Copies of this chain bind each other. A is one copy, B any other.
Amino acid sequence: MKKSSLYKGCLEPILLRLLKDNGRMYGYQMTQMVKEITKGELSITEGALYPLLHKLEEQGIVEAETEMNGNRMRKYYSLTKAGKKQTSLAMEEMKAFMQSLEFIVNPKTAIG
């Protein structure tokens, strides 16, 4: 992540969203996609990413499959059924969160 890190607390919903949109991804791919989507604004650090993926797997939110790509390992993650449900909830929360931020930071243009 970035040094100033407003992103603190948003990483989990971000990953869930990525998996929801792309179906099946491996960790490194997530970091690259986020970097691309946000035009370099957000860099997910590995120290944050991998422990979180492991936690989500433990919780049954995602499931993992290891594949070999040439000589290199890739660990693909995808949402479980419970994970999809959880993602819906997380997206609702994100929506409310972003709306609240708008209210505070952009009180004039924010539409409630």
A residues with CB within 8 A of B: 4-10, 13-14, 17-18, 21, 34, 37-39, 41-42, 91, 93-105, 107, 112
Roughly how many angstroms separate A74 CA and B98 CA in the complex, as a whole number?
A: 31
Q: Which residues of B contact A102 (CB under 8 A)?
A: 98
Which single residue of chain B is at the shortest CB-CB distance from A97?
Answer: B6
Which single residue of chain B is at the shortest CB-CB distance from A18?
Answer: B104
Q: Which residues of B contact A4 (CB under 8 A)?
A: 93
Other than the known A10-B101, A38-B104, A95-B105, what 14 A-B pairs have Cβ atoms closer than 8 Å?
A6-B9, A6-B13, A6-B97, A7-B9, A7-B97, A13-B105, A14-B104, A37-B107, A38-B100, A41-B97, A41-B100, A42-B100, A94-B101, A98-B102
Q: Label chain A's interface by main secondary structure.
A: helix
A22 to chain B, nearest CB (A): 11
Roughly how many angstroms separate A98 CA and B101 CA in the complex, as a whole number?
A: 8
Which single residue of chain B is at the shortest CB-CB distance from A34?
Answer: B104
What are 20 residue pairs bridging A and B, where the CB atoms are less than 8 Å apart in the complex? A4-B93, A5-B9, A7-B9, A8-B8, A8-B9, A9-B10, A10-B101, A13-B105, A17-B105, A21-B107, A34-B104, A37-B100, A37-B103, A38-B104, A91-B105, A94-B101, A94-B105, A98-B98, A98-B102, A98-B105
